């Protein structure tokens, strides 16, 4: 990689917003993680825009020459490919007590780091990339870890937090999930 290519790659991932917006969005992401860790799913749902696309494509291990094929495309298999209505149904189901995968409920810790915020083409909307680590424990011996990168579109909203997630793409570092279920939100 030449110096020019390296500088261009650094610029494309560097935040291009002021420190106030960077701070607000980071705090929003931390608040979201806290709501999930406290099982406040109804309030968490208010952070999702009505037109959200919540997507976690599958990954496969590929040789270096085929790395462009390691992530499934939009028409291929996905762990999550959900709209607001799907998320709403999942939250409602968790509230019924009939979701066997979450009774007793999991204990989770969502850690968010390396937040990068870039202005989007639409005013008041931002492209946000971050790394995440989700630790989940359930019952006496069940423990799962999910690690990866999220790419979000976050926009200003008239809610208590001032922001909403309009699009979320979750890319796990794992290609094989060993968890018994995927009842958590990432």
When pLDDT is averaged across residues 82-91 and rounded to a whole number, the result is 97
Residue 8 confidence (pLDDT) above 60:
no
In a domain? residue 178: no
Least confident of 62-76, 84-98, 157-171: 62-76
Residue 185: inside a domain, yes or no? Answer: no
**C-alpha–C-alpha distance, residues 183 and 79, integer Å:** 11
**Sheet of strand 78-82: strand arrangement:** 78-82, 48-57, 163-172, 142-156, 125-138, 107-119
The answer to whether 156 touches 135, Cβ cutoff 8 Å, is no
**37-48 pLDDT, tens digit each:** 999 999 999 999
CA distance 46 to 96: 19
Q: What is the pLDDT of residue 72?
A: 59
On whether residue 27 sits in a domain, the answer given is: yes
Q: What percent of the chain shows pLDDT beyond 70?
A: 86
Predicted confidence at residue 73, as pLDDT, reads: 65
In this predicted structure, the answer to whether residue 122 has a pLDDT above a threshold of 90 is yes
Q: Which whole-number Å values give the CA distances from 160 to 6, 47, 88, 110, 163, in the listed order? A: 40, 9, 19, 21, 8
31-40 as b/e: b if 16+ CB within 10 A = bbbebbbeee
Domain range for 56:
3-172
Q: Which residues contact 1 (CB under 8 A, 6 or more apart)?
A: 9
114: helix, strand or coil? strand
- Check residues 28 and 56 and name the one with the higher pLDDT: 28
**Does residue 177 lie in a domain region?**
no
User: What pLDDT score does 100 carry?
Assistant: 83
pLDDT value for 130: 98
Res. 144: pLDDT tops 80: yes
93 assigned to some structural domain: yes
Query: pTM for the whole thing?
Result: 0.86
Task: Name the average pLDDT for the chain.
Answer: 88
Confidence band (pLDDT; 50, 70, 90) for 125? very high
Q: How many domains does the chain have?
A: 1
pLDDT of amino acid 61: 62
The answer to whether residue 183 is domain-embedded is no
Please indicate, yes or no, if residue 41 is contained in any of the structural domains. yes
The domain spanning residue 14 has which CATH number? 3.10.450.50
180 in a domain, yes or no? no
Residue 67 has a pLDDT of 64
What is the arithmetic mean of pLDDT over 9-14?
51
- pLDDT for position 1: 42
């Amino acid at each position: 990689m030449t110096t020019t290519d390296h500088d261009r790659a650094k610029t494309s991932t560097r935040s291009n917003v002021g420190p106030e917006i960077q701070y607000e969005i980071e705090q929003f992401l931390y608040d979201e993680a806290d709501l999930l860790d406290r099982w406040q799913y109804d309030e968490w749902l208010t952070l999702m825009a009505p037109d959200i696309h919540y997507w976690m494509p599958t990954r496969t291990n590929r040789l270096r020459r085929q790395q462009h094929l390691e992530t499934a495309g939009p028409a291929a298999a996905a762990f999550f490919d959900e709209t607001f209505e799907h998320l709403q149904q999942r939250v409602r189901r968790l509230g019924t007590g009939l979701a066997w995968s979450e009774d007793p409920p999991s204990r989770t810790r969502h850690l968010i780091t390396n937040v990068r915020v870039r202005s989007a083409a639409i005013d008041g909307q931002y492209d946000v990339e971050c790394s995440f680590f989700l630790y989940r424990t359930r019952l006496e011996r069940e423990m799962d870890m999910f690690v990866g990168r999220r790419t979000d579109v976050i926009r200003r909203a008239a809610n208590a937090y001032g922001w909403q997630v309009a699009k979320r793409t979750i890319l796990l570092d794992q290609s094989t999930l060993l968890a018994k279920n995927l009842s958590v939100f990432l």
